[in-house]
A and B are shown apart, each in its own frame.
Chain A
Amino acid sequence: MLGLSFVELIELFIKVLIFPGTLFSLLFSIIVIWFERKFLARMHLRIGPLHVGPFNRLGLFQPIADFLKLVQKEIITPSRANKFLYDLMPMLAAFLSALSIAFIPYALDPSGGYWVIFYTPLSLLVILVILTAKPFIMVGAGWAANNKYCTIGALRAAFQLLAYEIPIVLSLAGIVIATRSFDLARIVEAQSSVWFIILQPIGFIVILIAMMAELLRRPFDIPLAEQEVVFGWPTEYTGVQFALVMVAEYFDLCVTASLITILFLGGWSGPAIPLLHDISPMLSGIFWFLLKMAVITVIVIMGRGVFPRLRIDQLLESGWTVLIPLAIIQILITLATAQWWLPLIGV
């Protein structure tokens, strides 16, 4: 079957079903939703989720209870909606967001390869292509719902994602120029002695801001602004379709955090953790990867607690006139100074 041996097949199943596949990404979304609610509540001097779950009123199972509630609810389709597109888009959103996870290497395999579901030397390019498909889903869903709020939200999302995809690609260009590779695993190996956040700090800031805009998080949540367009393009979705939209959003957060970790924070590289390293060197790598991911996730979530929403003209202006020039400056600096630090990354 598939030309794989039995051991390889078992390994593939573990990768797809447990880590970094289904179970990990779902657990990540559940934990992040809980953490986001609790953390934001503490920032506002509130308590947050309280009742559901064990451990002395922490509300740990609140996201699971919310999900069960959403699954039980009736699916309502607006009478004038384009039913096929309307039903297709949430599924496509969740599918595309989950698809990116397949190309991200999470650790070194004990047998010599990388712990990744599907290895390809063009993984960075594939993830960028999947990222580019996101505005299509939003515009499609917003148009199919045949609702003013959905349409306005979808058009705003299209503006925003177009303005912020270019800085992302440009700031990635600096890394691709330095490592001469689209392979995420190769990029991590290049950072074994020094991380790219030190060599390319401007690129890191640009990609962090642009990714927050790409995820439609708080300072950039103009397409979802409650006060103006109810909930933007997913306004009409109910029940399990809304759950899919939410899951897609948190899968995106997972992919983004992993991507920034790999590109700028050295991925799984880090000093060996004594206990984990004795069991398997891979576990130590996974620990470092998840720790770096958590830091990025907390920074992205904090934006929601501390910043007010930008106006759409401020957003587009900062995208086109600040971030893109900064990214280009980063490329120029990379080209000018590469001869001094290229030996460091072993190219």
Chain B
Amino acid sequence: MVLSILRPFFLGLYHVFKRTFTVKHPYETLKPPERHRGRVMLNMDRCIGCNSCVNICPNKALTLVEFNGRKLPQYNAGRCCFCVLCVDICPVLALSMTHEVEYSVYKKEDHIYPPDRFSQPPEPIKGKIVTVKTLDKKFGVKHG
């Protein structure tokens, strides 16, 4: 019984000197995997305004709006569930997923992407981009 009380103490102390699983996020960011689903991006030249994406979206994150005399989708990142149905349904491949990782905004209006902003690629990741270099049982994960 005494051993069962003391063992966690040693295990805890041992963990203190292991490397951490998490990274120092704003300064270091884990590289998103190849098939990572970030926010959706629009290719304005290809879009024909067919309304398919708006119809299939389960969360009503996409709405069709008037833009420069054309009908183009507007995107609400706060409602999006990243199901990729809109990307799959698009007949002209105008929609694609990006590798955006930072979504936090101060106002909920900032989550709404009108067609011009919707067609911009996301800002590049600030800070160092790191990947998992080694998985060591003794010392933990090494990022680099």
Contact = CB atoms under 8 A, between A and B. Distances in A.
B12 interface: yes
A291 interface: no
Most A CB contacts (10 A, CB to CB) among B11, B15, B19 go to B15
Contact of B12 (A46, A50, A57, A302): A302
A43 B15 contact: yes
Nearest to A303: B9
A45 B20 CA distance: 4
Interface in A282-333: 302, 305-307
A39 B16 CA distance: 7
Contact of A47 (B8, B12, B16, B22): B22
Nearest to B25: A50
A47 B20 contact: yes
Given A39-B16, A57-B27, A302 B9 contact: yes
B141 to A, nearest CB: 8
B27 to A, nearest CB: 7
A43 B22 contact: no
Interface string A51-66: 1000001000000000
B24 A45 contact: no
A45 B15 contact: yes
B128 to A, nearest CB: 13
Q: Is the interface of B mostly helix, strand, loop or mixed?
A: loop
Interface in A271-285: none
A42 B9 contact: no
B140 interface: yes
B95 to A, nearest CB: 36
Contacts of A45: 15, 18-22, 140
Contact of B24 (A42, A47, A302, A307): A47
A311 to B, nearest CB: 17
A306 B21 contact: no
B105 interface: no
Interface in A60-96: none
Nearest to A304: B12
Interface in A122-164: none
A44 B12 CA distance: 8
B3 interface: no
B136 to A, nearest CB: 13
Interface string B110-130: 000000000000000000000
Contacts of A306: 8-9, 11-12
Contacts of B25: 50
Contacts of B135: none
A44 B11 CA distance: 11
Contacts of B19: 45
B24 A43 contact: no
A50 B140 CA distance: 20
A307 B11 CA distance: 11
A89 B24 CA distance: 40
A275 B141 CA distance: 41
A101 B12 CA distance: 31
Contacts of B9: 302, 306
Contacts of A39: 16
A134 B25 CA distance: 42
A50 B24 contact: yes
Interface of B: 8-9, 11-13, 15-27, 140
Interface of A: 39, 41-47, 50-51, 57, 302, 305-307
A-B pairs, top 5 by smallest CB distance, nearest first, are A306-B8, A306-B12, A42-B16, A45-B21, A43-B12
12 contacts: A39-B16, A42-B17, A43-B12, A46-B21, A46-B22, A47-B23, A50-B24, A50-B25, A57-B27, A302-B12, A306-B8, A306-B9
